[in-house]
Amino acid sequence: MRINPLIFRKNDIRGHADDDLHDSAVEIIGESLAVMIRETYGDHITLTVGRDMRLHSPRIAAALIRGLRNQGANIKDLGLCLTPVCYFSQATMDEVIGNIMVTGSHNPPEFNGLKITLNGRAVIEDLIEDLREKSYEALSFPFDTDTGTYEQIEIIPAYLDYLENQFQSLKQFNQAHKAPIHLIADAGNGTAGLVLPAILDRLGFRYRCLYCEPDGSFPHHHPDPTVEENLIDLKKAVKADKAHLGVAYDGDADRLGVVDNQGKTIWGDQLLIMYAAEILKKHPDAAIVADVKCSQTLFDAIKGMGGRAIMWKTGHSLIKRKMKEEEALLAGEMSGHLFFGHRYFGYDDAIYATLRLLEIMAVKGQIIRNYNFSEVADFLPSICNTPELRYDCPDEIKFTLVDRLRERLFSCREGNGECPTIHDIITIDGVRVIFNHGWGLVRASNTQPVLVLRFEAENKKTLNLLQKFIMHLVKQVRRELE
């Protein structure tokens, strides 16, 4: 049986739950992964497996575990949990060599996937390709391998204990000042609801949680905080309760969305400026990694504060690997993946990022005697940009389209054709074009059949002109390909 090759993506494995990730395919992937790991780390390997709340995740996790055990992997089953809790299991359990999280993250409800980490490093690109090739050899795998052991374990209590211990200062702050910060949280019926109320209770916060019951049918809205429509209920609740801020999470709780007390969305690159300001006070010259979708104001702010700003490819796994290479203390994406090497394990954890944000608010709020997020974050630069825009484009042509667009833009830069003045073209991931008074980005999504675009300029008029120019080229190239 041949597995759909398109499910093997740059950062992880993702596909339609029924058509692509049926039991036979997932079991073969599990067997292939176990064989790969044993070839590198020896016969005695222990892995943790977690799953999100999607309706098909229990079935996929069961098939994955069967495949892994068929080829000798010992399994500790975490059951329903958050992606960062799955990462936490490897970071804190000595015998665990890797972990696999069954999650569709922010993809539509009918999709699912596998996020894989080995020896603290995300399995990406070349290793994903090796896994794809290995899955085609499944019929030749040995059948006399001893079946791996199986154990169900509870990991969330240890995770909560860890966070409570790490953030004792917040607990003491709330006790001393009678919990002055009031927040609204929207878990989007994802896995954040498994731990967020518990840790906020332990630390003594005043809060209200919307949609905290995990439900893979997503009855209220889709759990993707990068889409403004999904933040409507949160913004209404923040204003109605006169709360100081609102926080939102994606389905597996590795991405954070924030709205201020006025209902304004605070994107991931703006949050990175806040985190960077605190870290660089204590660690000048620290490296900070951010993806190509982030605002130029972020890179300028990091440099202005004495840090080393590194622009890199979009993708949680790609960012984590770059972070390790550069020994960065902080990294992040515009989409809300936030990675802390400072005081933490270096992976994306939206619950942890929330508590780090509350630390900043507690300290500055005391100084200015105001805990409204808009006041605490009043130093953030004013910018004119778009959110992350998505343009439907089939997987089969999206990368070719970006390649052709890049060629067209280089040609424009050389004076062939009418276009705004182009100062630079950055090709780290897709194409980021630097104009006189702004920039535009077009890249192929690693997880969905879409192009991802973002634009930034000095004013709204220029922003519209740059966006119109780039979109004209995108549509022109697409017509040529079709």
CATH of the domain at 290: 3.40.120.10
**Are residues 192 and 75 part of one domain?**
no
- For 36, the enclosing helix (H) or strand (E) is helix 23-41
pLDDT in the model for residue 144: 62
Q: Quote the tokens at residue 104.
A: 């569709």
- Count of domains for the chain: 3
How far apart CA 298 and CA 319 sit, in angstroms, is 16
List C-alpha distances in Å: 112 to 36, 128, 331, 394.
Answer: 22, 16, 26, 18
**Are residues 166 and 108 part of one domain?**
no
- Residue 32 annotated as catalytic: no
- Residue 14 annotated as catalytic: yes
Paired residues of 47 in beta bridges: 75, 98
- Residue 105 annotated as catalytic: yes
Which among 153, 175, 195 is the end of a domain?
153
**Are residues 213 and 149 part of one domain?**
no
How far apart CA 20 and CA 3 sit, in angstroms, is 7
**Are residues 306 and 181 part of one domain?**
yes
Residues of the chain with pLDDT under 50: none
**Are residues 367 and 236 part of one domain?**
yes
**Are residues 319 and 372 part of one domain?**
yes
Q: What is the pLDDT of residues 345-373, one digit of tens each?
A: 999 999 999 999 999 999 999 999 999 99
**Are residues 453 and 394 part of one domain?**
yes
How far apart CA 255 and CA 463 sit, in angstroms, is 27
**Are residues 314 and 421 part of one domain?**
no
pLDDT in the model for residue 415: 73
**Are residues 218 and 124 part of one domain?**
no
Q: Which of 337, 356, 443, 478 is catalytic?
A: 337
Which among 132, 153, 174 is the end of a domain?
153
How far apart CA 426 and CA 190 sit, in angstroms, is 36
**Are residues 400 and 347 part of one domain?**
no
Q: Does residue 88 contact residue 345 with C-beta atoms inside 8 Å?
A: yes
Q: Which of 32, 57, 89, 105 is catalytic?
A: 105
Q: Output the CA torsion sign for 406, 409, 414, 417.
A: positive
**Are residues 120 and 53 part of one domain?**
yes
CATH of the domain at 414: 3.30.310.50
Q: Quote the tokens at residue 37.
A: 């790991």
Q: Does residue 28 contact residue 135 with C-beta atoms inside 8 Å?
A: yes
* Predicted structure pTM score: 0.95
pLDDT in the model for residue 138: 76
How far apart CA 48 and CA 86 sit, in angstroms, is 7
Q: Which of 14, 106, 255, 478 is catalytic?
A: 14
User: Any residues with CB less than 8 A from the CB of 39 and at least 6 apart, and which?
Assistant: none
Q: Mean pLDDT, the chain, as a whole number?
A: 95
**Are residues 114 and 53 part of one domain?**
yes
List C-alpha distances in Å: 160 to 92, 134, 185, 239.
Answer: 13, 38, 17, 29
Q: Could you tell me the residue range of the domain that residue 237 belongs to?
A: 158-376
Q: What is the pLDDT of residues 378-434, one digit of tens each?
A: 999 988 999 999 999 999 999 999 999 999 999 988 876 678 899 999 999 999 999
Which among 89, 124, 153 is the end of a domain?
153
Q: Quote the tokens at residue 170.
A: 């917040």
